[in-house]
Amino acid sequence: MAFDLKYYSYGSAALALLGLMGIFMSGGGNPVVNIIAGLMCMLGAIGAVAFFRYGYLLVPLITQRAKVVQIMEGGYEIPPANDVVLKNVGGVYYATKYLGVRIYESASEKSNDENVIYSEYFERAISSVKYVTKFALMIYMKDITEHRNRIETKHAEAQLRLARERDKPEPDVLKMDRFEKEVAMWENQINKLTRGIKPMGLISYVMTTAVGVSKEAATAAAQSQANELKATISNALNVQVDVLTGEEMLRCFQWETMIPPTAQELEQAVL
């Protein structure tokens, strides 16, 4: 079963609780016990907050340093680097990589001609890929509660990124175009909320698998395919594509068999 960040947080919180109980039970009589219990409480509290906020960075770091291999149900395994899913089938290794795709425009915001052109770009991007690729889309209705504050914050962050890129001596034209689309997307969502239109959410990721005679060979082939897909999709559609690792990769792996049943659970998983 895949490691879940909440279990790390729960374990750290339990350590803090044990330390707190130790302090109360000692009654201040034994200074050594008080010091040990105090350290447990402090480290547990820090660990709970750290894993809750930055677990996606800490867990891969811990597994990589400790060389921990996660064994999953069905014979799958996650190497210490937390960057690929492996499986041995008949002496041949299969390696799967996941890529997150951030789309900043919707079809409803484009004209018919723009949608036709966009579809042509997508077909060209797919036709240049010589191996099987899976595109996954999850669509859900967002809870409007607190949604406006969140997208206004995202809008401000996108405007800041755009302003910083514009202020560079030699701004990247593709980045500016992407940032402008992101700003326009957030503005459009704010306008839709103002008009009373319920917001829709979209989660998109790409899956690619390669084979090899060893774990290293399969992983290298999968990494090469992932890099090619990242360049092809981002250039053809001008979207942000990221190779997923750690908890983000594990979520996509879990979503292959079961997805969050509610919009709230899905948003908690990706925000």
Show pLDDT as tens, one digit a residue, over the chain (271 residues).
344 556 666 677 777 777 777 767 766 566 766 677 777 777 777 777 766 666 656 666 666 666 666 777 888 998 888 899 999 999 999 999 999 998 766 666 666 776 677 778 778 777 878 889 999 988 887 767 667 788 888 899 999 999 998 999 888 888 888 889 889 888 888 887 777 777 777 889 999 999 999 999 999 999 999 999 999 888 887 788 999 988 889 889 989 888 887 777 777 766 5
82, 9: one domain: no
State if pTM tops 0.85: no
Contact 77, 71 (CB under 8 A): yes
61 in the same domain as 74: no
* Separation CA 237–CA 233 (nearest Å): 6
**Does a structural domain hold residue 38?**
yes
Residues 203 and 247 occupy one common structural domain? yes
* The two three-digit tokens of residue 98, written as one number: 């996941």
Q: Residue 13: its pLDDT value, please?
A: 72
From 45, 68, 91, give the residue that closes a domain.
68
Statement to judge: residues 27 and 133 lie in one domain: no
Are both 3 and 135 inside the same structural domain?
A: no
Q: Which structure tokens are listed for 140?
A: 């859900």
Residues 60 and 135 placed together within one structural domain of the fold: no
Domain range enclosing 77: 69-142+199-270
DSSP state of 197: P
Residues in CB range of 100: below 8 A, 6 or more apart: 204, 205, 241, 242, 244, 248, 252
Pair 11, 118 in one domain: no
Please tell me the total count of domains within the chain.
Answer: 2
Determine the residue type at 159: Q
Q: 103: exposed, middle or buried (C-beta count within 10 Å: 0-12, 13-18, 19+)? A: middle
Residues 99 and 224 in one domain: yes
Is residue 184 one of the residues assigned to a domain?
no
Which residue in 99, 96, 131, 100 sits closest to 219, CA to CA? Answer: 96
Neighbours of 31 (CB within 10 A): 9
- Rounded to 5 degrees, φ, ψ at 208 are -135, 145
Write down the pLDDT at residue 43.
Answer: 76
Structure tokens at 56: 């996606």
264 plus 220 within the same structural domain: yes
Q: Are residues 122 and 203 in the same domain?
A: yes
Strand partners, 78: 70
**pLDDT score of 54:** 62
Instruction: Tell whether 257 is covered by a domain.
Output: yes
Last residue within a domain, chosen from 48, 68, 88: 68
Report the pLDDT value the prediction gives residue 212, as an integer from 0 to 100. Answer: 95
- Based on the domain organization, do 64 and 84 belong to the same domain? no
Phi-psi region of 146 (alpha: psi -120 to 50; beta: other; left: phi over 0): left
Count of residues in the chain = 271
